[in-house]
Amino acid sequence: MTFLLPVGPANAAPSTWAATAMIATVVLASTTGEVLTAAAMKSIGDLDEIRARAGMKGAIRSVATCPLFFAGVFFLAVAFFALLFALNHLNLSLVAPAAASLTLVTNAIAGKIFLKENVDRRRWAAAVLVCIGVYLLAH
């Protein structure tokens, strides 16, 4: 994937544009993965109830036969490798807090648009507070 991004010679600090692109890839892939996984679990229904009715095997089968779940896991895997790639070029103290806190805000937006979740003022405030908090904690 190295040739896709203008990261320059090995060990040189990547440009701001390249760093932004790397972090954006992590954030977009993980948001897509989280939203697809959440949609999959909502379509399956309450796992505790399924487990009470059909046992552990039934619960595992209901998850393992849901295509939406595997689409979610695929994007989570893309996010994981994008994170490894970013860590190879950027400092952990930049990537980890930036990716973790931005993902919270993009997830609130995606949750509202795609999952039609009721993201009220309380949840917006929480997303922003937790986002700044994660940044301060990990920086």
Partner 1 sequence: MAHSSLTARQYLILAFVSICAPLGDTCLSRGMTHIPAIALAHPAALIAAVFTPWIATGIALLIAFFASYLTALSWADLTFVLPATALGNVLVALLSRFWLHETISLERWAGIALITLGVGFVAQGPSLTERPSAATEARVKQVAAR
- Tell me how far, at minimum, the Cβ of 29 lies from partner 1, in Å: 16
Tokens 């790397």 sit on residue:
22
What is the widest separation between alpha-carbon atoms in the chain?
A: 58
Does 34 participate in binding partner 1 (rule CB under 8 A)?
A: yes
Quickly count: other Cβ atoms within 10 Å of residue 121's Cβ.
7
Does 32 participate in binding partner 1 (rule CB under 8 A)?
A: no
Does 85 participate in binding partner 1 (rule CB under 8 A)?
A: no
Contact 74, 40 (CB under 8 A): no
For the segment 107-126, give every residue that binds partner 1 (CB under 8 A). 107-108, 111-112, 115-120, 122-123, 125-126
Helix (H, G, I), strand (E, B) or coil at 91: coil
- Tell me how far, at minimum, the Cβ of 80 lies from partner 1, in Å: 11
Does 127 participate in binding partner 1 (rule CB under 8 A)?
A: yes
- Tell me how far, at minimum, the Cβ of 85 lies from partner 1, in Å: 13
Cα(103)–Cα(136) distance, integer angstroms: 15
